[in-house]
Chains A and B, each alone.
Chain A
Amino acid sequence: MVGVDFGVQLIQTIVFGLMLGGVYALAAMGLSLLFGVANLVNFAHGEYIMLAMYITYFLSISLFGDPVLSPILTIPIFFGIGVLTYLGIFKRLVKAPPLSQIAATVGIVVLLRNLALAVWAAEPKAPPYTVFATSVNVGPIIIPLDKLLATVVSVFTLIILNQFLEKSKLGIAMKAAADDVEAVSLMGVDTGRLFLLTTGISMALVGLSGSLIMTYQAVTPTSGLLFGLLTWAIVALAGLGTVKGIFAASIIFGLADSLASGLWDARGREIVLYGLFILILWLRPKGLFGRR
């Protein structure tokens, strides 16, 4: 009897983990693009996700009534934020040493985190109501529809992004820049414009993933810390490569997250996630699937 129960719980936990991983992939993809293509270290990536979650929260309670609709606005808003961030800050940092990039983006961390604190206060803002906040049963396994939706949208977006990077002219230029910026610039591509667009796309992905995460999770001003480290950990595991690499790494972290909090202790998940991160850095500094 215990065996059967445990089996069900294990499968249930794995299902949760797969869905988490699907969403994490989208959150990490923006970071990977920016780091890979423009070689920009954005330490504040998690804080931007946090901001996207707050904006989703704000839009849902004031305008849509349902966070599912919010990507209509968060994607363009965050593309705009990306463009502004690039013009205001990143542009000066592209050629700067990594230490300066980290320092400046840590400044953004301080700024955004406290801005959120000033505007939304520190208490967690719970996800606004979505019509998908219900679940279906598949035998003994429960599938929450809000998470399922987030996962499906995320995977679908990644497939499109993959096509974009493989097929479109801009996408190919971005991929090429990830390999060798000098060569791309010699071939007559305007790298400034390329980096600008990359930052915009990266942030648009952040906007979407923030909206998706917000359909089932609460946000606090310190949420950025969690997502920042988590997405960097995914990029570390994936190496700077492909959409597929990011996806595989995200699934691994999603599973680790879910198994740690489901089977061990909800308070221990950070130990597992970040411990895994440090181990990856030590043992596979180039990542599992990376080219660099």
Chain B
Amino acid sequence: MKNVSKALTRTQALVIVAALVIVAVVGVGVFTVFLPSTPSTAKISEVRVGLVEPLSGAYAVFGNEAKMAAELIVEEINSKGGIASLGGAKIRLFVEDSKSTADGARLAAEKLVNVDGVNVLIGAFISAHTLTMLDVTEPKKVVVMADALVDYLTARGFKYIVRLPPKASVHGATSVDFAVAVFQQAGAKIQRPVIVHFDGLFGEVTADGIYTRLRDLGIRPVDRIKYPTDITDMSPIIERIRQANPDIVFVVPYYADSVLFAKAVKSLGLKVQFIAGAGGTGLSDPDSIKAAGDATELMTNTYSYDPFLPTEYNKQLVQRFQSKYGKLPTEAAGIIFYTLWTLKEALELSGKMFPDKPLDGDNLMKALFELDLRSGPAAETYPSGRIKLGPSGDNIYAQAVVLQVQGGKPVLVYPFEKAQTKPLFPRP
């Protein structure tokens, strides 16, 4: 026994460990170089689509709405025969929760790309979370269709990303244009705007959009107030707004903070002529109205989707969504509607253009850029009615709309030519 135990000296142990390290490192190299790339199968039976959404956490309201929408549309596409040009291949949806954190989105993307082997990834609603997924998708050439709005998502040199909804800066500018027009109609002018926003990426960029458009119109905001995303008490913020004595408050909230904001405005009796949101989250969607009660009355927000768009398909889709889930589809669901339908069109095209490798990332991107949709379900659910990607991967014909809470219900008030009713102004 003693002899044997001496057999393994420290030097020998070190040699063994060193050898193992070398073997491991060389192994990694060999594996990564010679690892066979995904074999191209002749017959494609399914298209794997990953969906990363915040199903839990601070933004869960949106993530769950997006998931509902995705399930609805995928079911419709599959029941109508799948992707015809791919021999009727069905879309298979893989949903992962980002937990409303950047790490969570990253982990979800890792799993979808490396374990489930998805061909396309849709997500992650929060721009910052979407950015963390691109490190994972880019090297594997997985196409990302973003449903997040921050401008530079598509401008960071990543090749395999497209985004259909209007950018955050468009939301900010739309909010300003709308408010200016509303003031004008009442014979007034915006003189003392205050910008209030949460301090995340999306809040900053959208507020920048508001600020820039105001500056272009020669209006200087009297204050710009940031608050933390996880704020639990809004009264200091309301107090600062009151001190600034504004005629209009532009606000970029998410969901829970928008509810707190609306309630604090009401309970502290903040007097301001108009409160205009930007960015499509909070204030005038059905969930926020339900949570905040009548506190959101007459507040507005900008959206990437118009649930009241009077096209045949949209009417029928909204009705189906409402009867299935009991609520009006807004921002999160709407983006998924036209994103998935656009994907479907792109897959059809890719199947025709590249019958050998229709799901290859490069080919799918070519097909996406080739599309110019003016009819069909995708165009019929898009606010401007047209989808054509520009070189950056953004829709050239992007447009945002404004919904106002009137009588406890969201109604379309802008653009005026499409509006259901006139915007109500000023607040009592």
Contacts and interface: CB of A to CB of B under 8 A. Distances in A.
B57 A122 contact: yes
A144 B236 CA distance: 12
Interface in B47-101: 56-61, 99-100
Contacts of B227: 266-267
A277 interface: no
A261 B99 CA distance: 28
B236 A122 contact: no
A8 B240 CA distance: 11
Given A13-B239, A135-B267, A217 B233 contact: yes
Interface stretch (B112-120, B160-168, B256-264, B402-410): B256-264
B230 interface: yes
Contacts of B259: 126, 218
B269 A124 contact: no
Contacts of A16: 235-236, 239
A35 interface: no
Q: Which range holds the interface residue count of chain B?
A: 35 or more
B287 to A, nearest CB: 10
A7 to B, nearest CB: 11
A126 B263 contact: yes
A144 B199 CA distance: 26
B255 interface: yes
B235 A267 contact: no
Nearest to A226: B232
Interface in B262-294: 263, 266-269, 291-293
Contacts of B243: 5, 8-9
Interface string B350-387: 00000000000000000000000000000000000000
B236 A258 contact: yes
Contacts of B228: 266-267
A195 B287 CA distance: 46
A278 B253 CA distance: 33
A38 interface: no
B44 interface: no
Contacts of A267: 199, 226-228
Contacts of A191: none
A142 B263 contact: no
Interface string B236-262: 110110110000000000011101100
B231 interface: yes
B269 A133 contact: no
Interface in A134-190: 134-135, 137, 142, 144-147
Given A133-B267, A135-B268, A144-B267, A123 B232 contact: no
Contacts of A117: 56
B269 A135 contact: yes
A121 B55 CA distance: 9
Interface residues of A, number: 37
A12 interface: yes
Contacts of B260: 124, 126, 218
Nearest to A53: B232
Given A9-B243, A134-B267, A134-B269, A126 B256 contact: yes
A123 B58 CA distance: 4
Nearest to B100: A122
A218 B256 contact: yes
Contacts of B99: 122
B60 A122 contact: yes
A189 B99 CA distance: 51
A226 B61 CA distance: 24
Contact of B232 (A8, A121, A124, A146): A124
A41 B315 CA distance: 60
Contact of A266 (B100, B237, B268, B269): B237
**Residue from A144, A258, A266 having most chain B Cβ neighbours under 10 A:** A266
A218 B232 contact: yes
Contacts of B59: 123
B293 A129 contact: yes
A67 interface: no
A82 B352 CA distance: 69
Contacts of A142: 239, 242, 268-269
Contact of B56 (A12, A121, A217, A261): A121
B267 A262 contact: no
B256 A124 contact: yes
Contacts of A145: 267
Contacts of A216: 233, 235, 267
A266 B267 contact: no
A255 to B, nearest CB: 13
A127 B233 CA distance: 10
B61 A123 contact: yes
Nearest to A6: B243
A22 to B, nearest CB: 15
A167 to B, nearest CB: 36
Contacts of B293: 129
Nearest to A12: B239
Nearest to A145: B267
A219 interface: yes
Contacts of A231: none
A223 interface: yes
B237 A124 contact: no
B56 A122 contact: yes
Interface string B291-302: 111000000000
B228 to A, nearest CB: 4
A99 B227 CA distance: 37
A144 B256 CA distance: 21
B331 to A, nearest CB: 16
Nearest to A136: B269
Given A122-B57, A145-B267, 4 more contacts: A121-B60, A124-B256, A142-B239, A219-B232
25 contacts: A9-B239, A13-B236, A117-B56, A121-B56, A121-B57, A121-B60, A123-B58, A123-B100, A124-B260, A126-B256, A126-B260, A126-B263, A134-B267, A134-B269, A135-B267, A135-B268, A144-B268, A216-B235, A217-B232, A218-B233, A218-B256, A218-B259, A218-B260, A223-B232, A266-B226
Interface of B: 56-61, 99-100, 199, 226-228, 230-233, 235-237, 239-240, 242-243, 255-257, 259-260, 263, 266-269, 291-293
Q: Top 3 nearest A-B pairs by Cβ distance?
A: A124-B256, A133-B267, A122-B57
Interface of A: 5, 8-9, 12-13, 16, 117, 121-124, 126-127, 129, 133-135, 137, 142, 144-147, 216-220, 222-223, 226, 258, 261-262, 265-267
